[in-house]
Amino acid sequence: MTATSETVPETTVRPAWFPAAAAVFACGWGGNQFTPLLVMYHAAGYSAFTVDALLGAYVVGLVPGLLLSGGLSNRHGRRPVMFAGTLMSLVASVLLALGPLGVGWIAAGRFLTGIAVAVAMAVGSTWIKELADADPFRPADLGTRRAALCLTLGLGIGPGVAGALAQWGPWPMVLPYLVHIGLAAAALTAVRRSPETLRARTDSVRTALPGTTKHPRFRRVILPMAPWIFGSCGVAYAILPQLVEHQTGSWALAYSTLLTVCAIGAGVGIQPIAKRVDRATSARAVLTGMIVLCLGLVLSVVAAAAESPWLALGSAVVLGAAYGIVVVSGLLELQRLARPDEIAELTGVYYALAYVGFLLPSLLAALNGVAGYPVLLAGVAVIAIAGTLVVARHSRRHLPRH
């Protein structure tokens, strides 16, 4: 399995990104379909810590997948690695559908889901960007925005469908995953039709981190922000639904689904605005996202103290908007810093840092015996404010020269 030297004809550029986007969308769907079902598994007898641990279990597969898949795609090509990632997403849903047989099947499915999402983020996003960049008449940042949108749509629509099927459909622990199996199978067929974009094969997969990770702007602007990309999501649709679960009664699963869809929907809707706020001369967009994040966290403290479903919904929307701003603005910052030969690997590092934030629900669940969630969330807000101040201090410093 090696990369080809096939070029992307200009006449095929317009439709060429659709199959690649389908694969990224399917992997995003599979990565987040589990989230609104947390309430269902909790009602089935799993402890809050076990449920949150299963949510974060795919980080075990995701982080090494993010760090390695970009290098593998540099050697073997974008298309075969993305095909393998989409196949893993399908197999992961098969394992999750076997969840009623035991928690081990769920854990294994979440692990493979992590690898699949990693490939979509590091390789799929790069592939879509390269397909867009092949057209000289397209805006320079079109591929970046298109890749972020495809992934975000998958992350948002997947849990919406899964939660609705689990709330009102038959076989709630099986049917949502069967739908994704069919979607992933269709994406596997489509991805084979998308052209390869890699022009040359590298002799080996690099194991060292890309050199750009040592750049002062990476360490002082991107690094303090990145974990909050999915840290905001973890608070929005993993922690808040459980805090008001007894208030929503039999509608707990539908409410959890609503929070997930509203958070991701806000993230999708805000992304065009995030692009307009972005400037090459400062970290204005990143800083804006961090400020919105801090506001969402403060609101989540109030929602947790009041145990109010309405305040929790408002918090989820604000946190989702923060997610949409920081994920796009961070990618734009990153791509201004990166060399062309390291963009796939650096994107993997970026998303690995982002997904560290998804361990936040498990961490807070473990600390819940020490302090209540209002106090813990207040502590999280203080840490986010400190990170915002770091970004603000270095907003106009260490700008890239190219």
* Residues of the chain where predicted confidence (pLDDT) is lower than 50: 1-14, 200-205, 207
pLDDT of residue 4: 42
Write down the CATH number for the domain with range 12-192+211-393: 1.20.1250.20
Q: Environment class of residue 370 by beta-carbon count within 10 Å: exposed (0-12), middle (13-18) or buried (19+)?
A: exposed
CA dist 119 and 21 (Å) reads 13
pLDDT, residue 37, reads 87
Domain ranges (residues) in the chain: 12-192+211-393
As a whole number of angstroms, the distance between CA 267 and CA 273 comes to 10
At 321 the pLDDT is: 95
Give pLDDT, residue 35.
Answer: 81
Instruction: Supply the pLDDT for residue 326.
Output: 92
Per-residue pLDDT at 11: 40
Please, are residues 40 and 253 in contact by the beta-carbon 8 Å criterion?
yes
